[in-house]
A and B are shown apart, each in its own frame.
Chain A
Amino acid sequence: MEINNNQLLRFTTAGSVDDGKSTLIGRLLFDSKSIFEDQLESVSATSAKKGHQGIDLALFTDGLRDERAQGITIDVAYRYFTTPKRKFIIADTPGHIQYTRNMVTGASTANVAIILIDARKGVIEQTKRHAFIASLLNISHIIVCINKMDLVDYSEEVFSKFVEEFEEFSSKLLVKDVRFIPISALLGDNVVNRSTRMNWYQGSTLLNALETLHISSDINKIDARFPVQTLIRPQAGEYLDYRGYAGRIAGGIFRKGDEVVILPSGFSSKIKSIQVGEKLLEEAYAPMSVAITLEDNIDVSRGDMLVRKNNQPRLSQEFDVMLCWLNNMPARPDAKYTIIHTSNEQRAIIMEVIYKIDINTYNRETENKDLEMNDIARIKIRTTRPLMIDSYRDNRNTGSIILINENTNETVAAGMIV
């Protein structure tokens, strides 16, 4: 089994109860032989109890008691499967409008977003919402599955019409790679196995697309960024003077001997060593977790960032953010929040709501500026001290923030730096 070079691909699926999202995930798991026999037995039994013919694939994704009772997904659920080519993590998120926060959460780490369109209905409001969120969260690849092709006689015309519709509205979005696949999740056409009923479609199956998409460029390997999480100081034995900076590389490549600048202090030094556990490395790149030591004894602490002299992030105290409000309690004007950016924590205040976005029409709203749960808005934020930021488009890790309500400790908003 040569699995050692296999990559990890994270994808998100968004959809509502009836567009076949759960069935699609069930089909992917089932046909890729990721379902165990005891799970199959339990689902077969439940299917029979509910009076279904055959097995109801959607039951494989059943979650908590309330979700089963109501037939809905309340929270993001994560599922896993592996093929000989890749390991996959699915962030399964509900698609209702009130669950924008879950979609945003699931999308935040995804390489790929799967958007489902019901072949009987075509592009609906929800499709636009999903596409918008995928674009907002800068997901590199979108796969649009036109599902339930079995209910429209596997018609090429229907497929082409919806592809056209999708392309028309999505031209307003910033998405780099969109592909379309006609499928029937219920019957398995073009999910894992190639359909024999749609010879007009020459593209790949969904699984094949997931296995072969180029994802190596999804992570920024150009702009070297190393946020320091914590210090490693053994203070004993042969490591008496060892002073290591622990962190996960947030972008780019660092090499032994590289000259680096420490922000925000601006001091510079050279990288003396890079290691993971006992293993010493010549170079390391995002998203590796490493410990770095420097040639000079400089005061570096959590929240600082190692970068290259000629490639530095913006050092800024006031900047624009696309913010998604995640909490029941609306934003209070002039309230202070704790802001977390990489390993840095400061206090912040929302200076101005510039506009809100209607995620169904993509229109900007400048009248009503109250930020409520699931709202997405462009805001201006001010922090107590400068943060070392990049734009989210350039780097997801150094371009993202969350806001925490200091009275409740809850995460109330997620933001992408413009």
Chain B
Amino acid sequence: MNKYFLNFLDELESEAIYILREVWAQFENPAILFSGGKDSIVVTHLARKAFYPARMPFSLVHIDTGHNFPETIQFRDDLVKDLGLKLIIGSVQEAIDDGRVAEEKGKNATRNSLQITTLLDTIESNKIDCAIGGGRRDEEKARAKERFLSHRDDFGLWDPKNQRPELWNLLNGKCFEGEHFRAFPISNWTELDIWNYIKRENISIPSLYFAHKREVVLRNKSWIPVSQFLKLEDNEVVEVKKIRFRTLGDITITGGIESEANDLEKIVIEVAAMRYTERGDREDDKRGETAMEDRKKKGYF
């Protein structure tokens, strides 16, 4: 191997750091959208690296649906404390209480799409002009069309057919008052890249990603964790399974997979051999062909 050539993980890292620094240089008040999932954890790690030895200059924004894994919240709070960051919480529960949004009805009701209003409100009230996310193009076909710097109009809407062309590594983050940008520094990473990187950098992640015993029910071919928010159907049976999560969303919609992988080495091997996409266990994406596209246009992550 040529001594003066980066391997793919180094090149992805270098690209992401470049974008994070551009965001810092081009915007007044950027912040990281932090869900407590592996992708936003990797973005936070990259941001730390990009500005070392100075403190990372971004606050973390958590859009809290109220339907959380307790482990995720604990992890979030520890991380914020460790890095000495400011945490901004946008509460979906408050938006419901205020009558800004209404709970979905029906069997598979979730608060997933309710996050859009809270997210846009939080961006506006905190005057965030660039919200940095952990979205990856390989996740989903609407995300495959995303730019590194993605424009949102003054209603927070995304117009995928009329995006600014992005050439070389020249980024145009110019916007008018009221508009904002989303930045996706890990656009070019795949799920496997994320895991290889977490392993290489030894990044700490919530215990939920490792195999553990948990009470679950089988719903729509996924193991959904039992929680105070889950309404059991008559025919559903609670079982204890050894599972782990491939992605983390709301506790009500995130399905686990049966697994014995209890360390990063085993997870990398498991992910490399995986035959189903990671969002296949997310109920929010099982709502039809264009579920993500529709949510994204309205301002979703």
Contact = CB atoms under 8 A, between A and B. Distances in A.
Nearest to A104: B167
Nearest to A415: B167
A24 B20 CA distance: 34
Contacts of A87: 8, 190, 193
B287 to A, nearest CB: 14
A38 B276 contact: yes
Interface in B1-55: 1-2, 4-15, 17-18, 21-22, 24-25, 48-55
Secondary structure of the A contact surface, majority rule: mixed
B51 A232 contact: yes
A232 B53 contact: yes
B168 A397 contact: yes
A108 B272 CA distance: 30
B275 interface: yes
A340 B17 contact: no
A108 B168 contact: yes
B170 interface: yes
Contacts of A287: 6, 11, 14-15
Given A216-B5, A239-B54, A302-B25, A414 B192 contact: no
A409 interface: yes
Given A285-B4, A409-B175, A402 B14 contact: no
Interface in B154-168: 160-161, 163-168
A400 B170 contact: yes
B172 A411 contact: yes
Contact of B53 (A5, A36, A234, A410): A234
A248 B18 contact: yes
A216 B276 CA distance: 34
A7 B18 contact: no
B174 interface: yes
Contacts of B25: 229-230, 302, 343
A36 B277 contact: yes
Contacts of B188: 78, 80, 89
Contact of B8 (A6, A102, A221): A6
A39 B141 CA distance: 11
Interface residues of A, number: 74
B278 to A, nearest CB: 9
B268 to A, nearest CB: 7
B290 A65 contact: yes
A204 interface: no
B174 A230 contact: no
B293 interface: yes
B270 to A, nearest CB: 12
A78 B4 contact: no
B145 interface: yes
B269 interface: yes
Contact of B169 (A248, A277, A285): A248
A400 B280 contact: no
Given A37-B275, A221-B4, A288-B6, A8 B17 contact: no
Q: Which of B2, B15, B168, B274 is packed against the most chain A CB atoms within 10 Å?
A: B168
Contact of B21 (A74, A246, A277, A326): A246
Nearest to B7: A5
A108 B171 CA distance: 13
A98 interface: no
A404 B268 CA distance: 43
Contact of A400 (B18, B48, B167): B167
A229 B18 CA distance: 8
Contacts of B190: 80, 82, 87
Given A80-B138, A276-B49, A229 B21 contact: yes
A105 B55 contact: no
B142 interface: yes
Given A64-B145, A232-B51, A404 B163 contact: no
Contact of A64 (B4, B9, B142, B176): B142
Nearest to B175: A409
Contacts of A14: none
A246 B21 CA distance: 8
B8 A86 contact: yes
B196 interface: yes
B137 interface: yes
A75 B275 contact: no
Contacts of B187: 78
A22 interface: no
Nearest to A286: B4
A277 B165 contact: no
Given A7-B7, A86-B8, A401 B18 contact: no
5 contacts: A7-B8, A75-B161, A80-B188, A87-B8, A343-B22
Given A36-B276, A80-B188, 14 more contacts: A1-B269, A7-B7, A8-B12, A101-B165, A104-B165, A216-B5, A229-B25, A233-B54, A234-B55, A244-B53, A248-B169, A287-B15, A397-B169, A411-B165
Interface of B: 1-2, 4-15, 17-18, 21-22, 24-25, 48-55, 137-138, 141-142, 144-145, 160-161, 163-170, 172, 174-176, 187-188, 190, 192-193, 196, 268-269, 272, 274-277, 280, 289-290, 293
